[in-house]
Structure 1
Amino acid sequence: MAAGIASSTSITSATATTTADTKAIAGNFTQFLTLLTTQLRNQNPLDPMDTNQFTQQLVQFAGVEQQLKTNDQLGTILASSKASAAASTSSLIGRSVVADGATTDLTGGKASWTLNPARAAARAIVTIKGSDGSVVATKTTTLKAGTQTFDWNGATASGLTAKDGQYTITVDAIDATGAKVAVDTKVSGKVDGVDLSGTEPVLTIGSSRVPASAVKSLVASAS
Structure 2
Amino acid sequence: MDVLSTTSTMTAGSANSATSSSSTAINSDFDTFLKMLTAQMQNQDPLEPTDSTEFTAQLAQFSAVEQQVQTNETLATLSAQIAALGNNSMASWIGMEARVAGLAHFDGQTPVEVYPMANGAADEAYLIVKDENGNEVDRVKIDPAAETVEWDGMDDDGAPFPEGNYVFQTQSLSNGKDLDTVLAESYTRISETQASTGGMVLVGTGGTKYLSVDIVGLREPTASDET
SS of aligned partner of 2:37: helix
1:158 partner amino acid? D
Equivalent residue number for residue 205 of structure 1: 204
| CA-to-aligned-CA distance 1:104-157 (integer Å, 9 cap, x gap) | 01134221222223323222222212334443322112312xx82231121112
Instruction: Please give the residue correspondences for 1:26-37 in structure 2 after superposition, counting only pairs within 5 Å.
Output: 26-37=27-38
Q: Is the 8 A contact 1:130 1:166 kept in 2?
A: yes
Q: Is the 8 A contact 1:112 1:150 kept in 2?
A: yes
Offset at residue 29 of structure 1 (A): 3.0
Offset at residue 187 of structure 1 (A): 2.8
Offset at residue 67 of structure 1 (A): 2.5
User: Which has the higher mean CA deviation after the structures are superposed, 170-179 or 17-26?
Assistant: 17-26
Structure 2: 5+ residue runs without aligned partners?
none
Structure 1: 5+ residue runs without aligned partners?
none
1:124 partner amino acid? A
Offset at residue 91 of structure 1 (A): 1.6
1:130 to 1:41, Cα distance in 2 relative to 1, 3 A: same
Q: Which structure has the highest strand share of the two? A: 1
Equivalent residue number for residue 156 of structure 1: 155
RMSD across aligned positions (CA): 2.7
| Whole-angstrom CA distance in 2 between matches of 1:81 and 1:159 | 50
1:59 to 1:116, Cα distance in 2 relative to 1, 3 A: same
Equivalent residue number for residue 109 of structure 1: 110
Identical-residue share of aligned pairs (%): 25
Equivalent residue number for residue 99 of structure 2: 98
| Whole-angstrom CA distance in 1 between matches of 2:32 and 2:20 | 18
SS of aligned partner of 1:43: coil
| CA-to-aligned-CA distance 1:90-112 (integer Å, 9 cap, x gap) | 1211112112x211011342212
User: Which has the higher mean CA deviation after the structures are superposed, 176-185 or 68-77?
Assistant: 176-185
User: Which has the higher mean CA deviation after the structures are superposed, 171-180 or 208-217?
Assistant: 171-180
Equivalent residue number for residue 63 of structure 1: 64
1:118 to 1:52, Cα distance in 2 relative to 1, 3 A: farther
| Whole-angstrom CA distance in 1 between matches of 2:26 and 2:119 | 54
TM-score (norm 1): 0.83
TM-score (norm 2): 0.81
User: In the comparison of the two structures, how many residue pairs are matched?
Assistant: 220
| Whole-angstrom CA distance in 2 between matches of 1:195 and 1:4 | 11
SS of aligned partner of 1:48: coil
